[in-house]
Structure 1
Amino acid sequence: MYQKLAALLGALLLSASALAAVNLNSASQAELESLDGIGPAKAKAIVDYRTKNGPFKSVDDLNKVPGIGDKTMEALRKDVTVGGGMAKPAAPPAAKPPAAAAGGKPAAPKP
């Protein structure tokens, strides 16, 4: 029973990852190689282009990468995205301490 459950869970995880688009701005070379039609040389060219020119602004910018032609571009269009760029979201601002009470003493925390 546990083997069937593990097999089902594995299949679900694989199908979910297959549906997720690869972000051209954050994908590793190995992640890029997982795309149909992208081998080690093209994946390296994508990473090198991104390093030299900054994040892709649109999926169409992939046409600017040496070795990526129109046929490859059209085959990849549904499997890639540029959402989010390379930057990580900023941390939320730190909470400010309570305002000082009259007399210059900090206000006591509220229970």
Structure 2
Amino acid sequence: MLKKLLLVTCMLMASASFAQVDVNKGDLAGLEGVKGIGAATAKRILDERTKGGNFKDWGDFESRVKGIGEKNALKLSQGGLQVNGKAKGDTAPPPAKAAAKTAAKPK
């Protein structure tokens, strides 16, 4: 019984450790809680955010933080990092394109 209780506790702690963190709102501890971000990377993120203001989007984040490229950003996003509440690749198509595709279909 005790083993099962410990197992459940460990599972809950593991799932809580990979929570979603917004790069513009997270503190040092929060950023370090994202899978793939260590102390040095978290410090670089905070330093750049202090120097240049909030990150506009993933492209802005990748260009301003040394050591963060396309592949690394995707891994960090999968680990729980967000920029302005969005995971990397979370973009909805513009309404005009969607409407144009619908209108272009023959009946």
TM-score by length of 1: 0.56
Percent identity of the aligned residues?
43
Q: Give the residue type in structure 1 aligned to 2:22.
A: N
Aligned pairs for 1:24-43 within 5 A: 24-43=23-42
Segments of 5+ residues of structure 2 without an aligned counterpart are 86-107
Shift of 1:30: 2.6
In structure 2, distance between residues paired with 1:7 and 1:75: 27
Distance 1:35 1:17, change over 3 A: closer
In structure 2, distance between residues paired with 1:54 and 1:68: 17
Partner of 2:82: 81
Task: Mark the structure with the bigger radius of gyration.
Answer: 1
Aligned pairs for 1:86-97 within 5 A: none
Shift of 1:7: 4.7
Deviations 1:16-41 (A, max 9, x none): 442x2111012122322233332222
Q: How many pairs were matched up?
A: 83
Segments of 5+ residues of structure 1 without an aligned counterpart are 85-111
Q: Please, what is the CA RMSD of the aligned residues?
A: 2.4
Deviations 1:54-101 (A, max 9, x none): 1122233220212212221121123211346xxxxxxxxxxxxxxxxx
Query: Secondary structure of 1:26's match?
Result: coil
In structure 2, distance between residues paired with 1:53 and 1:62: 11
TM-score by length of 2: 0.58
Q: Contact 1:59/1:77 (CA < 8 Å) preserved in 2?
A: no
